[in-house]
Amino acid sequence: MVKFNRVAIVGVGLIGGSLALSARQKGIFNHIVGIGRTPENLRKAKNLNVVDEFTLNLEEGVKDAELVVIATPVSDIIPIIKKSLPALKKGAIITDVGSVKNEIMIETDKLSLPGVFFVGSHPIAGTENSGVEAAFSDLFLKRKCILTPSKKTDPSALEKIKNLWISVGSEVFFMDSQPHDQILGAVSHLPHMIAFALVNYLHEINHEKESIFKFSGGGLKDFTRIAASHPIMWKDIALMNKGNLVNLMEGFQKTLEELKELINRGDGDELVRKFEESRRIRRGLIS
């Protein structure tokens, strides 16, 4: 079994905190150092026994770590890696949990990491809640985790990170970072943008004294759950996966425009065909 004696977690929120809880429970992490920018959340993490100690000083926190997990918004990952490097001990492994991978892999491949290894991870897990209070040890159970090794990724470090995710209950897949960003752009980032836009739009047209949301059924609630996701995390994802996301949004806009045209010209037969296709696909969705 994979084991890390001293682990530094940068960003002890929903994902970082849940990994700490789960990996400690399974005996994979022994001593956990939480690292962040402000003490409030880290103090909570300590009180909840998610971390053993914490520091606001990155270099200090990662110094003796065998494993550094970066669980911050994606735009912080590369700066944190660069800042950590001089402080890391030989043989240390860095991994992240970012939802966008291509830029991370390109940038880390450019760095010279003398005796230190980077492995890109993306656990497909999360809720619309954030912060360490939202963390729970079963978050990764039966979820998928995608690793995006490049040609430069060290096979032994990759194997260890793979085993870490398997140990917390995830099913691990390997994928190049470019198709990763396209696929996750489609099945995750695009739906989030649509949900944000829908809630913003409904709010915009809600001029009545009585909220129109009052008359929404369970459909809207489910549909917009992801619109409560973490704003800064999602700003980062949107901007870091901009190329794919803008293309996907344009493609979706075209499909929505076609649907609007079908409604506008009253083409009931074609509407039924579209809705039947949608029902069939949706019912076949893997959960």
Between 69 and 146, whose beta carbon lies closer to a copy of itself? Answer: 146
Contacts of 33 (CB under 8 A, 6+ apart): 6, 7, 8, 9, 51, 52, 53, 54, 55, 61, 62, 65
Place of tokens 């008359």: 215
Task: Tell me which residues in 84-113 interact with a copy of itself (CB under 8 A).
Answer: none
Q: How many whole angstroms separate alpha carbon 237 and alpha carbon 235?
A: 6
Q: How far is the CB of 152 from a copy of itself (least distance, A)?
A: 24
Per-residue x/- track, 198-227, a copy of itself (CB under 8 A)? xxxxxxxx-----xxxxxxxxxxxxxxxxx
Between 1 and 205, whose beta carbon lies closer to a copy of itself? Answer: 205
- Position among 111, 144, 169, 172 found at the interface with a copy of itself (CB under 8 A): 144
Reference 224, options 212, 232, 236; nearest CA is 212
Selected range binding a copy of itself among 58-66, 84-92, 101-109, 190-198, rule: CB under 8 A: 190-198
Is position 63 an interface residue for a copy of itself (rule: CB under 8 A)? no
Between 1 and 281, whose beta carbon lies closer to a copy of itself? Answer: 281
Is position 37 an interface residue for a copy of itself (rule: CB under 8 A)? no
Q: How many whole angstroms separate alpha carbon 278 and alpha carbon 272?
A: 10
Between 37 and 203, whose beta carbon lies closer to a copy of itself? Answer: 203
Give phi and psi for 68, each to the nearest 5.
Answer: -120, 120
Between 113 and 262, whose beta carbon lies closer to a copy of itself? Answer: 262
- Position among 56, 106, 141, 187 found at the interface with a copy of itself (CB under 8 A): 187
Between 47 and 211, whose beta carbon lies closer to a copy of itself? Answer: 211
Residue type, 67: L
Q: Tokens for 58?
A: 């990155």
Q: How many residues bind a copy of itself (CB under 8 A)?
A: 90
Q: Do the Cβ atoms of 18 and 50 come closer than 8 Å?
A: no
Q: How many whole angstroms separate alpha carbon 226 and alpha carbon 183?
A: 18
